[in-house]
Every structure is written in C-alpha cells, then in structure tokens.
Amino acid sequence: MNKRLIAITVCVVFTLFAALQIKQNFTTEATFSKNLISYGAKGSDVNELQGRLKFLGFYTGTVDGDYGWRTLRSVKWFQSEFGLKVDGHVGPKTKLKLWEATKNWKPTAPEAANTGKAAGQANQGNQGGTAASGSNLTPTTHKGFSKSDLDLMANAVYGESRGEPYIGQVAVAAVILNRVDSASFPNTVSGVIFQPGAFTAVADGQIWLTPNETAKKAVRDAINGMDPTGGCEYYFNPETATSKWIWTRPQVKTIGKHIFCK
C-alpha cells in the first residue's frame, strides 16, 4: 500500500511540475497584453512587436517602443505575407500569428535572425535588383504603401534619375523612403515628394513622365530593404546644384552623378 501511495504521489508531483514549466515557458514567450496595438502607440507592447518583427526580418528600425510609420509599414507587410487583414492594427489574430512565427524569440536574443521570407527578400537587394522583380506593384507586395504611393515613387525615380545607373535609381527611391521614416519630413510618400523645393522633377514637370520598368523595379527593391545610401536623406548633382546649404550636409558617397548626404 505504501509503495502504491508513493508512486501515486510521485506521479502527481511530476504532473504538477510539468504543467508549471509549460505555463512559465508560455508566459515568458507570450507577453503581449490584451490591448489593441495601433499607429501612435508607445510602450512595452510596441517593444515586443518591433522585436518579433525584427527577428523575422520585417522590421529594420530601432526597437524603441514607438509605433511610427516604419513599424506600421512592417506590420502591414507581415499581415500581407501571413494572410491577415492588412490594416496595421495588431489585434488577437495578428498577435497569435506573430507569436507562432517567433516562438524562439526572446527579448534578450539578437534582434535580427535573418530567417524567413522577409529576411531573404531583404538580402536579395544586393544582387542588382532581383528582389520582387518578377512581380507587379500589387497591393500584396508593397508592405504598407498603396499602389498610388508606389506609382508616384516610380514617377519620381524616373524623373529624377533615369540617366543614372540602376543602383543610383534605387538610391533615389531609398532617399524618399528614408524621408518618410524621418521626423524631419512629412510621413507620407506624396508629402515627401511634393514638399516645396524638394525635388527638381516636381519643379520642372518631369514627375509626370511615364516611368519605365527599371524605375518601377528600383522602387520595389528599395521597398524590400535595399538602401545603397546607408540611410541618407539628401542627394544632389554637384554640376547643377545652386543651393549653398546642400554643400554643408555631411557627404556619405557618390553614386553616378549624385552625391548622397545625411
């Protein structure tokens, strides 16, 4: 009788211990609160959101707990790739999908694992414009931007840099995106492009020329993470620039006929 009682007691203790471990592991990994996470939110939920998205390669910015434009774009990209409603709101369904895709993520783990489809697409950027080059500018490939945004960017890239090498055209698209992400500029593509005095192509009307496939492909590669400028927000042609101020900006590199600056 005593042996049987001891055996039953051991089984109960083992079961309770296992259940406790499972609960602790789930609690450690699934730390989202029940709150809806949307554009403009700040705090620990956004930190976790950014960390998990960065782990998958969807987010490339700083994990700062601030749900800004770059985070919104990353969330919409994730939602699009995982068959969710693309609205930028992180509710129960998006949280669950994100948790399921990042079970190995920990707050103290390296932020970028370079795994998954998103990271693969970003890495293709260094291969001369191969990322997403076989697809059209459709609502499922633009990672938070509307088709009109991408069309307008293609117009701007074509009007500003159609005589430049391909890498230079991607660089111009990247500058537009870097400005959208910057607090110093409007946070929309149209706001950046049509900001007074920002782009020569707007001033001289070349913005309305029909872009070719190269310009469209350059936009896609920039959207997919390719940034030959290293984060620059300005560029100019030294042969035609009339602004003395632009020469005061820290110069990073020259691509084609353009100098790119911070």
145, 95: one domain: no
In a domain? residue 126? no
Contacts of residue 89, Cβ cutoff 8 Å, sequence gap at least 6: 36, 37, 38
What's 251's domain CATH number? 1.10.10.2520
Tell which residue, 233, 237, 238, has the closest CA to residue 250.
233
1 inside domain: no
Q: Are residues 178 and 79 in the same domain?
A: no
Contact predicate 80/140, CB 8 Å: yes
Residue 152 and residue 72 in one domain: no
pLDDT band at 3 (very low <50, low <70, confident <90, very high): low
% of the chain residues with pLDDT over 70: 75
- 245 secondary structure, DSSP code: G
**In a shared domain, residues 157 and 213:** yes
The per-residue pLDDT of the chain, averaged, comes to 79
- b or e along 111-147 (b: 16 or more beta carbons within 10 Å of the residue's beta carbon)? beeeeeebbebbebbeeebebbeeeebeeebbbbbee
pLDDT at residue 45 greater than cutoff 80: yes
- Position 128 in a domain: no
The per-residue pLDDT for 110 is 43
Residue 163 and residue 57 share a domain:
no
123 belongs to a structural domain = no
Could you tell me if residue 10 is inside a domain? no
pLDDT > 60? residue 66: yes
How far is 158 from 164, CA to CA, in rounded Å? 10
Helix (H, G, I), strand (E, B) or coil at 67: coil
pLDDT at 38 over 80: yes
Q: Report the interhelical angle of 166-181 vs 213-223 (nearest 10°).
A: 50
Q: Are residues 92 and 155 in the same domain?
A: no
Contact 98, 49 (CB under 8 A): yes
Q: Could you tell me how far CA 231 lies from the centroid of its own chain?
A: 13
Q: Is residue 59 one of the residues assigned to a domain?
A: yes
Q: Same structural domain for residues 97 and 166? A: no
Is 26 within a domain? no
Backbone torsion region of residue 176, taken as left when φ is above 0, otherwise alpha when ψ lies between -120 and 50, otherwise beta: alpha
Higher pLDDT, 75 or 70: 75
d(CA 80, CA 144): 9
Residues 40 and 95 in one domain: yes
Question: Are 162 and 217 in contact, with CB atoms under 8 Å apart?
Answer: no
Domain containing residue 49: CATH number: 1.10.101.10
Q: Are residues 150 and 82 in the same domain?
A: no
> Does 102 have pLDDT greater than 70?
yes
Q: What would the 3-class secondary structure string for 115-173 be?
A: CHHHHHHHHHHHHCCCCCCCCCCCCCCCCCCCHHHHHHHHHHHHHHHCCCCHHHHHHHH
Lowest-confidence segment of 30-39, 81-90, 117-126, 205-214 by average pLDDT: 117-126
Is 117 within a domain?
Answer: no
| DSSP per-residue string spanning 21-58 | HHHHHHHHH----SS-B-TT-BSHHHHHHHHHHHHHTS
Instruction: Give the chain's domain count.
Output: 2
Q: Where in the sequence is the domain holding 93, given as residue range(s)?
A: 32-109
